[in-house]
Structure 1
Amino acid sequence: MGSLSTAASSGARLTLELWHPNCWTLEVTMGAPGGLLAHTVYNATDGRVKGHFTVYGSSIDEIESLIEETRASPLTESVVVMQRRTGYTDPGSLLGYATRELFVEYDPVNTISDALASRGFIQDGPVRVSDGIEHWSVFVSDTDRERLHERLDKVAETQDAEITVTKITTRTNASTSEPVRLSLLSPRQREVFELACEHGYYSWPREVTTRELAEKAGISKTTLLEHLRKSEAKLLGPAIERMSTRG
C-alpha cells in the first residue's frame, strides 16, 4: 500500500454517458420530464445497495410521479422520502427545480457502480440520470487514455452496458485531482477503502473475503471492518445518519 501517495499525485477525470440493463433509475426516468441525482451509492454489509438520491422536476406533480414510479419498480426494495435537514442547500434551488430527497435500497446485481469501482473508476460527484441515461463524473489514478478506454470496454462487456466518454481531463496535482468524496476520509481510511476497491471487495459477488483483505492490509479483521464502516458512513453522509435514527 506504499504506492498510494504516488497514485494520488496524478490521475484523470472522465465524464461518461452510460446505459445498462435492469437499472431502476434508467427505467423510471425514460421519457419522464424530471430526473434523479445519485449522490452516494454503495454495497452495504447486509448485501443490499443503499443510495441517497434527489428526485427533481419542474413541478411537484412531476417529482411525485417519479417517486411513485420508483416505489412501483420491481427493481427497488425500499424507498423512503427523507425530511430536509437544517442548513441543507437544496440542489433544486441551484437547478431551478422542485426536489425531494430519497433513500433507496435495491439489489446490487443491477448496479454498475461496483463494476466501475473495481476497474478503478471512483464516483466524483453526483450522478445525474435523465431520459434513461446516466451522466457520471469519475476519477481514476491513471492518465493513459488507451488503457482507460480498455478498462471502460471491460466494464461495458461484463455489464452489457453502453458507455460514451464525453470528456477526459488529466491532472497532476494531488490537491486538485483528488475526488471530493474521498477527501472526507482520513489517510488510513482512504488507504483501506482504496485497497478494498482494488481487490474487488465491493464487486458482486465479492472477489476477496474480509479475512483476506485484512491480511493484505496488515491489520486485524475487526480493525479492517471498523475502517470500512467509518468510510462508508462518511461517503454516504447525512442520508445514512437520518436512516439510522428512523430505526
Structure 2
Amino acid sequence: MTGDTDDRELLRATLDVWHPDCWGIESSEQTGASVVGHGAATDGRFAFERCTIYGDSSEHLAQAVDVAHESTFITAIDDLGDGRRATPDAPAMGRAARDVFIEYEATDGVGAAFVSRGFVLDSHYEVRGGRETWNLLVRTTRDEFGRTLDSIRDDLHADITLDRLAPATQAPPPERPDTHAEALTPRQQEALALARRRGYYSWPREVTARELAGDLGVSKTTFLEHLRRAEATLLGPDERVE
C-alpha cells in the first residue's frame, strides 16, 4: 500500500466482508459452524492460514471440514486436531473446536489480498452466518485506504462494508455486555444473521421465512423454531412483548 509518508497514520479498521468461493463462508452457511482465522501468510503464489472451526459436536465439525475438502478454493487442508479455543468468546461459538491448516491460491483469498497490501490482522477474524468480520491494522492515508478497499472489492468481486475506521491509538468503543447473545446456539445465530441480512425484519419484509429456510436447507418450521428461540433469548424473560 502506498501513500504520502507525511500523511500516513496507523489505522485500526473493522470490516464486514463477503466474497465468492470462500470455504469459511460456504461452511458457515451450509452447516451453521463458525470459523476463526488466525492470520494469513503468502509466498506470492500460495497463501496459508491456521483456522479454528467451532460447532455443536464432533459430527458438526466433520460436516464443516467436509465442506472445506469439497471447496474448489482450497488446494490443501490438514487437520491439526482439537481446537485451541483461542478466542475470548469461544464458548459462545460452539462446544467443540478443531484446528485446520489450509492452503489456497494467493490470488483467490481475501486474507492474502489484505496481507499483500500491507494490512496486519489485529488478533483474529471470524466467520459466522455467511459473513466475515475482519479487524485490521494498516499504516496509510485515509484516501489510499479507500482506494485499496475498492481494489480488493474489484479483484475478488467482494462485498466489503467498513464498520469502523479510527487511529490505532484511539481506544475502541466499549462493547455492551450481551450475555443473552452468548446463549445462542450456532444454528440460532445463523438463522438470526440471515434474517437480518436479507431484510426479514424490514417493513415491508423483503424475504419470506420459507425463502430463508430454503437458503439454509431446512424446513420452514425448523427455521422459524431457530429464529423464535433466538429472539426469545435476546429479548430476555423481562423484555418479551406479549
TM-score scaled by structure 1? 0.57
Q: 2:157 matched to which residue of 1?
A: 160
CA distance in 1, matches of 2:88, 2:61: 11
> Match of 1:230?
none
Query: Is the counterpart of residue 108 in structure 1 residue 106 in structure 2?
Result: yes
Identity level (%)? 23
Candidates 88, 91, 98, aligned match of 1:95: 91
Measured on the aligned residues, the alpha-carbon RMSD in Å equals: 3.0
Asked if residue 41 in structure 1 is aligned to residue 40 in structure 2, the reply is yes
Matched residue pairs, number? Answer: 166
Matched, 1:54 2:60: no
Given candidates 148, 151, 154, the residue that maps to 2:148 is: 151
Partner SS for 2:162: strand
Q: Which runs of 5+ in 1 are unaligned?
A: 178-247
Provide the rounded CA distance (Å) in 2 between the counterparts of 1:161 and 1:89. Answer: 29
Task: Give 1:79-94 correspondences, 5 Å limit.
Answer: 79-84=77-82, 90-91=86-87, 94=90
Choose between structure 1 and 2: higher helix proportion.
Answer: 1
Letter of the structure 2 residue corresponding to residue 120 of structure 1: G
Pairwise CA distance, 1:31: 3.8
Structure 2 CA distance for aligned equivalents of residues 89 and 113 of structure 1? 21
User: Is the 8 Å Cα contact of residues 82 and 102 (structure 1) preserved in structure 2?
Assistant: yes
**Corresponding residue of 1:169:** 166
For residue 84 of structure 1, report the CA deviation from its aligned partner: 4.9
- Which runs of 5 or more residues in structure 2 are unaligned? 173-242
Contact 2:49/2:102, CA 8 A, preserved across alignment:
yes
Q: Which residue number in structure 2 is paired with residue 69 of structure 1?
A: 67
**Residue aligned with 1:140, SS:** strand
Residue aligned with 1:22, SS: coil
Q: Distance in 1 between matches of 2:104 and 2:134?
A: 20
Q: CA deviation at 1:17?
A: 0.7
Q: Is the 8 A contact 1:38 1:53 kept in 2?
A: yes
Corresponding residue of 1:17: 16
CA distance in 1, matches of 2:55, 2:115: 29
Aligned ranges 1:92-241 → 2 under 5 Å = 94-96=90-92, 97=94, 98-142=96-140, 144=142, 146-172=143-169
Q: Which has the higher strand share?
A: 2
Q: Tell me if the contact between 1:121 and 1:138 (Cα under 8 Å) persists in the aligned partners.
A: yes
Between structure 1 and structure 2, the one with the greater Rg is 2
TM-score for both structures, normalised by structure 2: 0.59
CA contact (8 A) 2:78 2:101 kept: yes
Q: What displacement does 1:151 show?
A: 2.2
Q: CA offset at residue 153 of structure 1?
A: 1.5
- Name the aligned partner's letter for residue 35 of structure 1: S
Structure 2 counterpart SS, 1:109: coil
